[in-house]
């Protein structure tokens, strides 16, 4: 009798769940405000398709979205609440011009740690308040003040590469460039370098391990209760199970330690900037932002912001440097053009040229722009929730809809960039000579009020590192090619089919003059 009661109850629960989901699917396909928009029915019916391709198949939904656009056009419904729009001329409206409010999608908040950081701040106005002091910390003027710090890290890379040449060492580009970017962002944001450039062989476990941590982001998006349950597991057990969790925990601990130290020193009267006028750290900037309410200068807020800034500064710029390197070493004529231009302003390999001067070099700036554009790893969508109806072609998009696009799909649009998968810096020089501004179509750093905070720091690292690298050395690729930086999977950033990214190189020559 009890067994029959249990089976009947279980069957009732299953039937109720089935009917509940069926009603949801019918609503999503027939009555939902986005029901009329183009796209396959299975994408709009529920979030199951996105979960299947990203969780079960391993981060490949971005490739399905690309196929949808090929079939349905520039606007496609890709899940219940989200439209992907890849028209390059629509991006400013999607991100929101100055003064236009855009919220962050709540679904993406589940994918990241640090709930009080600007990355996870959903409301537009709240985000604007939190971001204001950080804008000045990462402004171009502020980054120019720390150019000597960046240059000192670049110099360390150059010296270590000379040692690698003498020993014939095989180098992983992501280790080399990741050590640079990690030491720069930790020095500037935390006030103390992590010292990865001092490690033998540029060894940087953070880069690989933190990437491993983000392999779980799709699970976090679709199964938030599972992530909540994992928080009940003792921390020491999680750290033993996951290197990514262990490295992320190190960053969290470091951020909290520096935040605590800063709050104590500020209470004792320590000023935001040192004698040179350079901010002592990101934490000092936030702790001294007296236009913010006390809750926005709390230990939790400073810790969360420190975590996000550190993680964001670790890998993306290193990947752009790797991307440019593999393309230059695969196109020797382009490399020789770049080296000839660098010799025109750097009389000797150890010459120091200001970032602003390097930016004015036509071919170097074209190489940087093409390296940012001709990438295949900025695959993650950047969703924004519109707060008012919006027109796109013949479509009226209702308020509350989520709009997104993969930066890679924008950067590879053949209408703007003919032969988009070919690395050709000359396209930027030719466009400039015709008075056409291609920069406005570059989607690598997003746009609007939530544009990448570290864009100026990234540009400074790119210009200073590339100039020093190719004025001092020649390299060869070793068992590597462009295919090693082409994404087949997406977990925050793109990865190859075997969950890797990066190439191996060897220094073949040191230029003496």
What local confidence, expressed as pLDDT, does residue 492 receive?
85
109 lies in some domain? yes
* pLDDT score at 227: 65
Decide: 34 and 44 in contact? Cβ < 8 Å.
yes
CA proximity to 252, closest of 211, 307, 194: 307
Task: Provide the pLDDT for residue 246.
Answer: 66
E strand or H helix at 370: helix 362-373
- Tell me how crowded residue 419 is: count the other CB atoms within 10 A of its CB: 10
Rounded Cα distance, 350 and 154, in Å: 11
Q: Which domain holds residue 211?
A: 101-403+420-510
Which residues are CB-neighbours of 324 under 8 A, at least 6 positions away? 367, 368, 371, 462, 466
Mean pLDDT on 87-97:
85
| Each residue's pLDDT tens digit, 273-299 | 665 667 889 999 999 988 899 999 999
| pLDDT value at residue 250 | 76
Query: What's the CA angle centered on 404, arms 399 and 409, to 5 degrees?
Result: 150
Between 240 and 508, name the one with better pLDDT. Answer: 508
In a domain, 6, yes or no: no
Give the count of alpha carbons within 13 A of 442, CB side only.
18
Q: Is the pLDDT of residue 391 over 90?
A: yes
Q: Are the C-beta atoms of 260 and 254 separated by less than 8 Å?
A: no
Nearest-angstrom CA–CA distance, 450 and 118: 9
- Asked if the structure places residue 241 within a domain, the reply is yes
In which band, very low, low, confident or very high, does the pLDDT at 347 lie, cut at 50, 70 and 90?
Answer: very high
**Integer Cα distance of 513 and 506 in angstroms:** 20
Quote the mean pLDDT of the chain: 89
- Is 435 a domain residue? yes
Region of poorest pLDDT, from 74-88, 223-237, 384-398, 482-496 = 223-237
Q: Is the pLDDT of residue 99 over 80?
A: no
More confident residue, 207 or 337: 337
**What percentage of the chain reaches a pLDDT higher than 70?**
89
Is residue 374 a known part of a binding site? no
**Which secondary structure element, helix H or strand E, spans residue 386, and what is its range?**
strand 384-386
Question: Which residue, 334, 356, 305, 317, is CA-closest to 444?
Answer: 317
- How many Cα atoms within 13 Å fall on the side-chain side of residue 415? 8
pLDDT of residue 112: 63
Got the DSSP string for 156-188? HHHHHHHHHHHHT--EEHHHHHHHHHHHHHHHH
Residue 23 counted as domain residue: no
- HSE toward the beta carbon, residue 261, CA cutoff 13 A: 13
Which residue has tokens 């983000």? 214
The β-bridge partners of 39 are none
Q: Residue 108's CB: how many other CB atoms inside 10 A?
A: 20
Say yes or no to pLDDT of 254 above 80: yes
Is 90 exceeded by the pLDDT of residue 382? Answer: no
The answer to whether residue 50 is domain-embedded is: no
Residue 42 lies in a domain: no
Concatenated DSSP letters of 33-66: TTTTSSS-HHHHH-SHHHHIIIIITTS-HHHHHH
Give the CATH number of the domain where residue 424 resides. 1.10.630.10
State pTM to two decimals.
Answer: 0.93
- pLDDT tens digits along 135-152: 999 999 999 999 999 999
Quote the CA–CA distance of 227 and 303 in Å, as a whole number: 21
Please tell me the predicted confidence (pLDDT) of residue 148. Answer: 95
For the segment 464-490, what is each residue's pLDDT rounded down to a tens digit? 999 999 999 999 999 999 999 999 999
β-pairing, 402-404 with 82-85? Answer: parallel
pLDDT at 324 > cutoff 90: yes
* CA quadruple 492, 496, 500, 505: dihedral, nearest 10: -120
pLDDT tens digits along 407-464: 999 999 999 999 999 999 999 999 999 999 999 999 999 888 889 999 999 999 999 9
pLDDT at 9 over 70: no
Predicted confidence band of residue 5 (pLDDT cuts 50, 70, 90)? low
Q: Is 450 within a domain? A: yes
Into how many domains does the chain fold?
1
Residue 332 has pLDDT above 90, yes or no: yes
Instruction: Give the pLDDT confidence score for residue 58 in this predicted structure.
Output: 92
Residues with Cβ within 8 Å of 8's Cβ and at least 6 positions away in sequence, in order, are: none
């Amino acid at each position: 009798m009890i067994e029959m009661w249990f089976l009947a109850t279980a069957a009732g629960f299953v039937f109720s769940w089935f009917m509940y989901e069926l009603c949801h699917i019918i609503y999503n396909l027939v009555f939902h405000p986005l029901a009329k928009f183009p796209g396959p029915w299975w994408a709009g019916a529920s979030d199951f398709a996105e979960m299947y391709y990203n969780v079960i198949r391993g981060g490949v939904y971005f490739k399905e979205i690309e196929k949808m656009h090929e079939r349905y056009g520039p606007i496609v419904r890709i899940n219940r609440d989200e439209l992907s729009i890849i028209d390059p001329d629509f991006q400013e409206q999607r991100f929101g011009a100055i003064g236009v409010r855009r919220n962050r999608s709540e679904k993406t908040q589940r994918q990241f740690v640090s709930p009080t950081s600007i990355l996870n701040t959903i409301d537009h106005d709240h985000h604007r308040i939190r971001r204001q002091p950080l804008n000045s910390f990462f402004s171009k003027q502020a980054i120019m003040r720390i150019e000597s710090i960046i240059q000192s890290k670049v110099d360390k890379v150059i010296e270590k590469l000379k040692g690698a040449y003498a020993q014939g060492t095989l180098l992983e580009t992501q280790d080399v460039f990741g050590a640079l970017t990690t030491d720069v962002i930790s020095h500037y944001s935390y006030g103390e370098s992590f010292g990865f450039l001092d490690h033998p062989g540029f060894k940087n476990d953070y880069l690989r391990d933190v990437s491993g941590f983000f392999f779980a982001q799709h699970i976090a998006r679709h199964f938030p209760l599972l992530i909540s349950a994992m928080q009940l597991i003792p921390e020491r057990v999680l750290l033993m199970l996951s290197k990514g969790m262990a490295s992320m925990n190190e960053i969290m601990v470091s951020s909290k330690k520096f935040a605590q130290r800063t709050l104590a020193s500020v209470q004792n009267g320590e000023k935001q900037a040192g004698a040179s006028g350079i901010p002592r750290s990101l934490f000092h900037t936030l702790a001294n932002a007296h236009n913010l309410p006390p809750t926005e200068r709390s230990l939790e807020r400073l810790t969360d912001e420190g975590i996000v800034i550190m993680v964001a500064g670790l890998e993306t710029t290193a990947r752009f440097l790797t991307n440019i390197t593999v393309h230059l070493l695969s196109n020797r004529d382009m490399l020789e053009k770049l080296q000839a231009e660098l010799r025109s302003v750097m009389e000797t390999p150890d010459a120091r040229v200001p970032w602003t001067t390097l930016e004015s070099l036509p071919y170097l700036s074209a190489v940087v722009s093409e390296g940012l554009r001709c990438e295949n790893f900025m695959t993650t969508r950047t969703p924004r929730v519109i707060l008012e109806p919006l027109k796109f072609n013949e479509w009226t998009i209702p308020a509350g809809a989520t709009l997104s696009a993969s930066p890679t799909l924008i950067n590879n649009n053949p209408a703007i960039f003919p032969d988009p998968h070919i690395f050709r810096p000359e396209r930027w020089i030719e466009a400039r000579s015709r008075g056409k501004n291609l920069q406005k179509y570059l989607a690598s750093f997003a746009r609007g009020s939530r544009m990448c905070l570290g864009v100026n720091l990234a540009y400074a690292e790119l210009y200073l590192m590339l100039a020093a690298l190719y004025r001092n050395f020649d390299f060869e690729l070793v068992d590597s090619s462009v295919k090693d930086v082409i994404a087949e999977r997406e977990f925050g950033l793109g990865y190859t089919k075997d969950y890797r990214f990066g190439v191996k190189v060897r220094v073949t020559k040191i230029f003496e003059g």
